Structure 1
Amino acid sequence: MFDQQRINALPIQRPNASAAAPVLQGLKVVDFTHFVAGPLATMTLADFGADVIKIEAPVRGDDFRHYPTVDPEIPAQGGPFLWTNRNKKSLALDLKSEAGIQVVRELIAQADVLVENFSSGVMERFGLDPETCARINPKLIYCSVSAYGREGPYADRLGFDPIVQAESGFISMNGYADRQGVRTGAAIMDTATAMTATNAILLALIARARDGVGQRVEVALLDTAILMTGFGAMQHLTTGYEPQRNGNVSPDTCPSGVFMAQDKPFYINCGNDKIYQRLFEQVLDRSDLAHDPVLSQRVNRLRERELLFKIMDEAFSAQPWSHWAPKLRAANVPHGQVKTLSEALTSDEVRSRDLVTRIPHPVKGWIPNIASPIRMSRTPAVASQAAPAVGAQSEEVLREVLGYDEERIAALREAGAFGVLDGVSA
């Protein structure tokens, strides 16, 4: 059950003050995506004005609709689904019916972009493979998001975020040295893959603007996960070094890690010698250590980490966070309180960026909304619309986008294009 009292306390999303047309206005996207990586990519396009039509199975829709938390008043719009599907239209079609496939073909004929993240082979079984769709619409940008790519010996493998975290080496790099590596709690590979897919689609659109020709775009979770191992991958390739698990301590800089004030944990990152000097001189009042000929050098501090941490732990534990935070900020030392998610979402920093607000919902009244991280001065994101119910815009799409009349819609219903309920066409 959604906590409506908590939601209603959020600030209302501010109206878009820009008079300019959204940057992607007029772009038509046929969206066959589900779960996270695909839907987040198409949502970014929708956030900036693209007309995104989400194709879903009748009744149940995207399986991600049913991930917790789910409110009984809107059982197919759980929190995770609302997070990945705002600003879209839902068209419920039975893709196992020829009538449903025909509707999709007509949408593809006038679309700019198609995005899918089915298992390999599914779109081919529907007769919607890239080659067929290119014949329908040579200008189409056809984006496939998969785990291991659409070609090669591993194209048939299913894969989710934690699987590619494991297989990319990412898990082996994270956690503490005395135990198994750990995955991130957030679906970081799905999220990064979504961002990559959005970039790829926009690049393909720029290429099409030059020569008028569409192309196939492919983004794989594994490819993204290898990138997300960071510079550790290049360290290994150039030297053979195998990144170790260091917990919250940096293997490259010192002192960097989590420390405890009298009441709260916080993170400090001394990325260079000057930051170290400001920390010890201006925050800890230890000019002797700030300018020590040995400790003032980064490489030496890595060897003396235990000594430095002992000194810092003793000093920081003597005062509350309210004492240390302003001193660290005044000294321009990178720092941050280790917050719970609740603390983060209600923090002054998040509030100052209007990152968490509430937007209207036709059933609940209001639901939370997390703003796009992309800020554009002239063509900002459009005002957020809540993610749709399954098939909420089916008739709107059929009438306004495809120009179907009542007779055509009735015929499609009779043919099972919209699914079958209890032996009767929906």
Structure 2
Amino acid sequence: MRPLENIRVLDLSRVYAAPAGTMMLGDLGAEVIRVEQPGGSDSTRGWGPYAGGQSTYYLCANRNKKSILLDLKDEADREEFLELVRESDIVVDNFKTGDLKRMGLDYAQLKAVNPQIIHCSVTGFGQTGPLAFEPGFDPVIQAMSGLMDVTGEPDGVATKVGVPTADILTSHFVVIGILAALRQRDFTGEGQYIDLSLLDVQVSSLANVSSAYLNADFVSKRLGNRHNNVAPYQVFDCADGPLMFCVGTEGQYKKFCQAIGRPEWLTDERFSDNAKRKANEDELVRLLTPIIAAKTRDEWIAILQEHKIPGGRVNSITEALEQPQVVARDLIGEIEHPAYGPVRFVKNPLQHSSLGIEYELAPPVLGEHSHLYVKQPKG
């Protein structure tokens, strides 16, 4: 038995943050029903590239779900939706603040129909505050949270991360929040409302950068591939390409000096501890650059592994998805859809001994399962 069997989720969300969260609930065994407007609500269906006529962006966030069509502005369809709410456990949406209330489908209305319902709303800025009614997309959140200001080269422009990291992190909190609410419901018998903001999530994920400012008034700046607090901790060019070196502790630094044939650096006043290495980082990097460039990546990886020092290739996406470790972990899966063929995907990373994650449903075409749940299915 999977952990969320017998749990039904009504998924009103679109794009990535909330849909990826409900997908993970589906992986854990929940019945996830996407509820979309006739004609479609999710703009990602129109974002290329495509596979079998389906958007690969849409495919990455919607496995293990069913799809039905309801026009929530129509009274009859709204009543059908509320009938589903009566028989469900969770509602997830990412409508703009106030939209569901105007349709008579906010948490107060859902709770009146089903006191045990858990309603999770995902918005850019949350349900309160001066920006509550403003739209918030991932790059805007990356910018406003300060993340872009600490990403990029020191003399370059503020840079967003190459994947929608605010959306991705928020999808995890969708799952965490809902699982916590389900557990609390076990004790109280009541549902609750979860107000989840992309900006809140991304600010809370600033980690050591926010802690440095809040506790030491230290404002982190862009350092490219270097670390704010540790050296040497960056990408170096080897004879055949770039490699990430992470010499994160004094013990690792001692082994690193032996590995590169520079034991004298252990007592060199410029480099003898991390604080001095950070203060003299430019000089340290200048001296290290030709040493690292003299060997290939494979040669350095063998040396780093021998000395238990973290390091890894800077892989292309192709190399990342095809590397032996990913293959050994069986991380790539495939589901067959009768209409558009096979869908390959990166599996859920949870590898419990008896969790029983299964991949049964390919991302559905629009309205594919309406006949199972809607009295008068829309075309």
Q: Structure 2: how far apart are the matches of 1:304 and 1:384?
A: 55
1:253 and 2:230 matched: yes
Task: Classify the secondary structure of the residue corresponding to 1:259.
Answer: strand
Q: Once the 2 structures are TM-superposed, how far is the Cα of residue 288 of structure 1 from its aligned partner?
A: 2.1
Q: Which of these residues, 96, 105, 117, is aligned with residue 82 of structure 2? A: 105
Q: Structure 2: how far apart are the matches of 1:288 and 1:171?
A: 39
Query: Which has the bigger relative contact order, CA under 8 A and spacing at least 6?
Result: 1
After TM superposition, the score normalised by the length of structure 1 is 0.86
Deviation string for 1:238-297 (max 9, x for gaps)?
Answer: 23221111111112111111101110100111111111111120x212222245465231
1:26 alignment partner in structure 2: 6
Q: Once the 2 structures are TM-superposed, how far is the Cα of residue 316 of structure 1 from its aligned partner?
A: 1.7
Q: Which of these residues, 57, 60, 69, is aligned with residue 40 of structure 2? A: 60
Q: Structure 1: how far apart are the matches of 2:130 and 2:281?
A: 46
1:266 alignment partner in structure 2: 243
2:50 alignment partner in structure 1: 70
Q: Structure 2: how far apart are the matches of 1:257 and 1:294?
A: 18
**Cα pair distance change 1:22/1:294, threshold 3 Å:** same
Task: Classify the secondary structure of the residue corresponding to 2:92.
Answer: strand
2:27 alignment partner in structure 1: 47
Deviation string for 1:285-323 (max 9, x for gaps)?
Answer: 222224546523111111222232222211121121121
1:91 and 2:68 matched: yes
Task: Classify the secondary structure of the residue corresponding to 2:185.
Answer: helix
Q: Structure 1: how far apart are the matches of 2:324 and 2:272?
A: 34
Deviation string for 1:98-141 (max 9, x for gaps)?
Answer: 22111101000111111110111221122101101100000000
1:333 and 2:309 matched: yes
Q: Structure 1: how far apart are the matches of 2:84 and 2:55?
A: 28
Deviates more, 1:78-87 or 1:288-297: 288-297
Q: Structure 1: how far apart are the matches of 2:243 and 2:115?
A: 54
1:391 and 2:367 matched: yes
Deviates more, 1:304-313 or 1:263-272: 304-313
* Percent of aligned pairs sharing the same letter: 30
Letter aligned with residue 329 of structure 1? Q
The RMSD of aligned alpha carbons is 1.5
Task: Classify the secondary structure of the residue corresponding to 1:84.
Answer: coil
8 A contact 2:14–2:41 mirrored in 1: no
Q: Structure 2: how far apart are the matches of 1:384 and 1:259?
A: 43
2:213 alignment partner in structure 1: 236
Letter aligned with residue 92 of structure 1? L
Q: Structure 1: how far apart are the matches of 2:61 and 2:320?
A: 20
2:297 alignment partner in structure 1: 321
Q: Once the 2 structures are TM-superposed, how far is the Cα of residue 211 of structure 1 from its aligned partner?
A: 1.2
Q: How many residues align?
A: 379
Any gaps of 5 or more consecutive residues in structure 1? 1-20, 399-408, 419-425
Task: Classify the secondary structure of the residue corresponding to 1:225.
Answer: helix
Structure 1 residue ranges, 4+ long, deviating more than 3 angstroms after superposition? 290-294
Matches within 5 A, 1:397-412: 397-398=373-374, 409=375, 412=376
8 A contact 1:276–1:296 mirrored in 2: no
1:133 alignment partner in structure 2: 110
Q: Structure 1: how far apart are the matches of 2:278 and 2:218?
A: 17
Matches within 5 A, 1:333-372: 333-372=309-348
8 A contact 1:42–1:198 mirrored in 2: yes
Letter aligned with residue 27 of structure 2? D
Task: Classify the secondary structure of the residue corresponding to 2:236.
Answer: strand
Q: Structure 1: how far apart are the matches of 2:356 and 2:262?
A: 47
Q: Structure 1: how far apart are the matches of 2:155 and 2:284?
A: 22
1:308 and 2:284 matched: yes
Letter aligned with residue 57 of structure 1? Q
Q: Structure 2: how far apart are the matches of 1:273 and 1:237?
A: 26
8 A contact 1:61–1:92 mirrored in 2: no
Q: Structure 1: how far apart are the matches of 2:359 and 2:141?
A: 34
Letter aligned with residue 312 of structure 1? L
1:223 alignment partner in structure 2: 200
Task: Classify the secondary structure of the residue corresponding to 1:139.
Answer: coil
8 A contact 1:278–1:290 mirrored in 2: no
Q: Once the 2 structures are TM-superposed, how far is the Cα of residue 67 of structure 1 from its aligned partner?
A: 1.2
Matches within 5 A, 1:161-200: 161-200=138-177
**Cα pair distance change 1:299/1:368, threshold 3 Å:** same
**Cα pair distance change 1:397/1:172, threshold 3 Å:** same
8 A contact 2:232–2:285 mirrored in 1: yes
8 A contact 2:236–2:244 mirrored in 1: yes
Task: Classify the secondary structure of the residue corresponding to 2:194.
Answer: strand
Task: Classify the secondary structure of the residue corresponding to 2:183.
Answer: helix
Deviation string for 1:123-173 (max 9, x for gaps)?
Answer: 112210110110000000011111111123221111111111111111111
Q: Structure 1: how far apart are the matches of 2:186 and 2:228?
A: 46
Q: Structure 1: how far apart are the matches of 2:174 and 2:343?
A: 27
Letter aligned with residue 392 of structure 1? E
Q: Once the 2 structures are TM-superposed, how far is the Cα of residue 32 of structure 1 from its aligned partner?
A: 0.4
